[in-house]
């Protein structure tokens, strides 16, 4: 069922779609040496014990991305996967500091990604938005400088986000830059409650004024927070395979996604960094459905949530929801 129904993806780091094959071909194109001998060796290195153990490898892998064409090729490969998985709208993150800190200009990164997204709209009919994330392990001042540097592109982004090492880097560290971003008309989202405590989700809501929480799986530790998220219809972009790969849950059958749905939370399913975590969005749906015994109605609810939680204009959202409803009805009648 999941293959034939349209969906939106709302939590996807474009740097996390770098497949080992592309990593090798970009390394060759840019004359960069990799600490791996083969694609198999790269895949074998993707065993993580925590978020930080993943991030170390992830930032190292991103070094092969040098030119606008590299960012275009990376993004285009992801869009081709979107087409296969029936993703009709995607809101992607990128981390400018990962690239500007090694001398790649902001424009090189942004223009390469955006050119592919424009072609994705024209050639594949996939709509998209770009969210610029600040790396929370770096300073607030660094985030502010990045925000200033990105000004010429603000009108081409939908929002700002916050990612990287959560523990010890609370959302309140970035209150000021998020305030500036909101003043510039950008929407706010943030990773919170992935490894960090429920308190960080409160901070993301109250200090950063986020409209969506990325991950947020720790919210079930705090009943008052769950009630707040339900009452205010704040969506949570959950990434099941990521959570297992990064040891947030011991196994997929221990994941709390079904409990979150049962509590009335607006949960969505996403792939986070699919090249590193063993699967794209439909892989996440299939594995989660099996592990948690989700029925078709629950999957349908998750798909509806993906559009309702998106930053699509009202009319576009309604159009996607109507098409989803029709297709789901047809499948149910068969
Ligand atoms: N950057 C890429 N993936 C991430 C994740 N799952 N958590 C925090 N930062 C990230
Ligand atoms: Zn993420």
Q: How far is CA 200 from CA 162, 171, 196, 243, 296, in A?
A: 12, 6, 6, 17, 33
Q: What is the pLDDT of residue 173?
A: 98
Helix axes 223-231, 198-206, angle to 10 degrees: 40
Is there a catalytic annotation at residue 316?
A: no
Determine which residue's CA is closest to atom 6 belonging to ligand 1.
272
Q: Mean pLDDT for each consecutive 10-residue tract of the chain (334 residues)?
A: 97 98 97 94 94 94 97 98 98 98 98 99 98 98 98 98 98 98 98 98 98 98 98 98 98 98 98 98 98 98 98 98 98 89
Cα 334 to ligand 2 centre (Å): 37
Ligand 1, from 13, 50, 137, 236: best to mutate by most atoms within 8 Å of Cβ?
Answer: 13
With a CB cutoff of 8 Å and minimum separation 6, the contacts of 144 are: 176, 177, 180
Reference 300, options 330, 271, 277, 255; nearest CA is: 330
As its CATH architecture, domain 7-333 has Alpha-Beta Barrel (3.20)
Cα 239 to ligand 2 centre (Å): 8
Q: What is the pLDDT of residue 234?
A: 98
Cα 275 to ligand 2 centre (Å): 13
Q: What is the pLDDT of residue 332?
A: 92
For the CA of 242, the closest atom of ligand 1 is 6
Q: What is the pLDDT of residue 57?
A: 94
Q: Which residue has the tokens 């290195």?
A: 45
Q: CA-to-CA distance for 191 and 164, rounded, in angstroms?
A: 8
Q: Which of 19, 194, 195, 207 is catalytic?
A: 194
Write out the residues surrounding ion ligand 2, Cβ under 5 A: 272
Q: What is the pLDDT of residue 334?
A: 82
Ligand 1, from 10, 15, 54: best to mutate by most atoms within 8 Å of Cβ?
Answer: 54
Could you give phi then psi for residue 264, rounded to 5 degrees?
90, 15
**Signed CA dihedral, 66, 99, 90, 239: sign only:** positive
Determine which residue's CA is closest to atom 1 belonging to ligand 1.
164
With a CB cutoff of 8 Å and minimum separation 6, the contacts of 271 are: 9, 11, 12, 239, 241, 242, 277, 279, 280, 281, 283, 284
Q: What is the pLDDT of residue 149?
A: 98
């Amino acid at each position: 069922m999941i293959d034939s129904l349209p969906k939106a993806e709302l939590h996807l780091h474009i740097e996390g779609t770098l497949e080992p094959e592309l990593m090798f071909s970009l390394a060759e194109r840019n004359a960069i040496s990799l600490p791996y001998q083969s694609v198999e060796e790269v895949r074998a290195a993707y065993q993580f014990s925590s978020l930080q153990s993943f991030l170390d490898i992830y930032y190292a892998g991103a070094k092969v991305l040098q030119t606008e064409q590299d960012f275009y090729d990376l993004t285009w490969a992801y869009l081709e996967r979107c087409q296969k998985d029936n993703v009709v709208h995607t809101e992607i993150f990128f981390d400018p500091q990962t690239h500007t800190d090694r001398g790649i200009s902001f424009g090189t990164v942004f223009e390469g990604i955006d050119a592919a997204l424009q072609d994705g709209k024209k050639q594949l009919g996939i709509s998209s938005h770009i969210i610029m994330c600040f790396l929370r392990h770096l300073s607030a001042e660094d985030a502010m400088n990045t925000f200033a540097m990105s000004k010429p592109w603000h009108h081409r982004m939908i929002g700002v986000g916050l990612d990287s090492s959560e523990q010890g880097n609370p959302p309140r560290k970035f209150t000021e830059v998020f305030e500036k971003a909101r003043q510039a008309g950008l929407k706010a989202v943030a990773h919170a409650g992935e490894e960090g405590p429920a308190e960080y989700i409160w901070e993301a809501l109250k200090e950063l004024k986020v409209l969506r929480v990325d991950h947020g799986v720790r919210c079930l530790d705090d009943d008052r927070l769950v009630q707040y998220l339900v009452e205010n219809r704040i969506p949570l972009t959950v990434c099941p395979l990521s959570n297992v790969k990064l040891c947030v849950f011991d196994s997929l059958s221990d994941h709390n996604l079904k409990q979150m749905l049962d509590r009335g939370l607006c949960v969505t399913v996403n792939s986070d960094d699919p090249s590193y975590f063993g699967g794209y969005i439909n892989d996440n749906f299939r594995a989660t459905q099996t592990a948690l015994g989700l029925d078709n109605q629950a999957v349908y609810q998750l798909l509806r949530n993906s559009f309702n939680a998106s930053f699509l204009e009202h009319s576009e959202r309604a159009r996607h929801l109507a098409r989803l409803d029709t297709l789901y009805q047809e499948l149910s009648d068969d």
